Amino acid sequence: MKLSQRLLIFLKTLNPDSYPKLCEEFEVADAAKQFLFTFTLLACVMLLLFVPAVLIGAPRLQQAMASFDSFSLGGNFSASSPVVLLRAPLVVVDLGENATLTDETLLFTESGIQWRRWYLFGRDSVSWGEVRDAKGYSENAYAALFLFLIPSLAFWLGLFLLLKDLLLILLFCLLAFLIPRLWRFRISLGDSLKVAFFASSIMLFVEMILFPFVRIPWLSPLLFLIFLTVGVALVGDRDLSERQGRKRPHSEKHGPWE
């Protein structure tokens, strides 16, 4: 499928009224491919938006740097209390005794640097002595260290968001398939999965556009749930369910996925 067609379908998925037609035209595999396209597209936009986000946050970073009594790239710095350099990802300087990672993604301590190996999970560390031994004493070498960490954090952030969104899609798809049946409303498992993939576009859009600037964790899942609910109402069929119930003999068993 051409890039222009993918972009047009992405715009259509932002309108739940188009879901019935999209469900007719798309197989589940095609809907999954469209989701991956949308995720990749918006992930690239998110990375680009980090540039103006950094520029907007520069005054806050300058204010945070002013909290230091002294600071040098050799790991020699002092501050009277922990200093938050960035909040997305969370980067903190803490010179307290036995300072260790809690919620931080990157932590500078008196003894060295600690960071999340997979953005949110796992941990790794390096002492200032190891940094100097490995990189020499050049300030450019320390800049290279941070440039190495940034792509790593971006990669694991993207992977984390992808897995989180896929889990939400599968969970909400299952709920969209099962809950309407309590009110004799019928939608197939395949259609509910396709609607979930289409409705996820609004979640990805809001999540990734806002991520570099502000965190509102509940907003994107809420919009996803609203779009999914509307999509299921448009794609499903109460009358079909009732007609099938009248036509089906009492002795005939219902299949679990019908």
pLDDT in tens, 35-88: 999 999 998 888 787 766 555 554 554 455 455 444 454 445 555 567 776 665
pLDDT tens for 157-191 read 788 889 999 999 999 999 999 988 888 788 899 99
CA–CA separation, 249 vs 258, rounded Å? 15
Whether the upstream peptide bond of residue 59 has omega within 30° of 0, thus cis, is: no
pLDDT grade for 255, boundaries at 50, 70 and 90: very low
Q: Are strands 68-71 and 106-108 parallel, antiparallel or unpaired?
A: unpaired
CA–CA separation, 64 vs 85, rounded Å? 6
pLDDT grade for 252, boundaries at 50, 70 and 90: very low
The predicted model gives 204-219 an average pLDDT of 84
Choice between 230 and 238, residue whose per-residue pLDDT is larger: 230
Residues in Cβ contact with 75 at an 8 Å cutoff, skipping those fewer than 6 apart: 112, 128, 131, 132
* pLDDT value of position 55: 53
**Domain residue ranges of the chain, discontinuous segments joined by +:** 3-245
Choice between 165 and 129, residue whose per-residue pLDDT is larger: 165
Q: What percent of the chain clears pLDDT 70, i.e. is strictly above it?
A: 65
* pLDDT value of position 185: 83
170-203 as b/e: b if 16+ CB within 10 A: eebbebbbeebeeeebbbebebbbbbbbbbbbbb
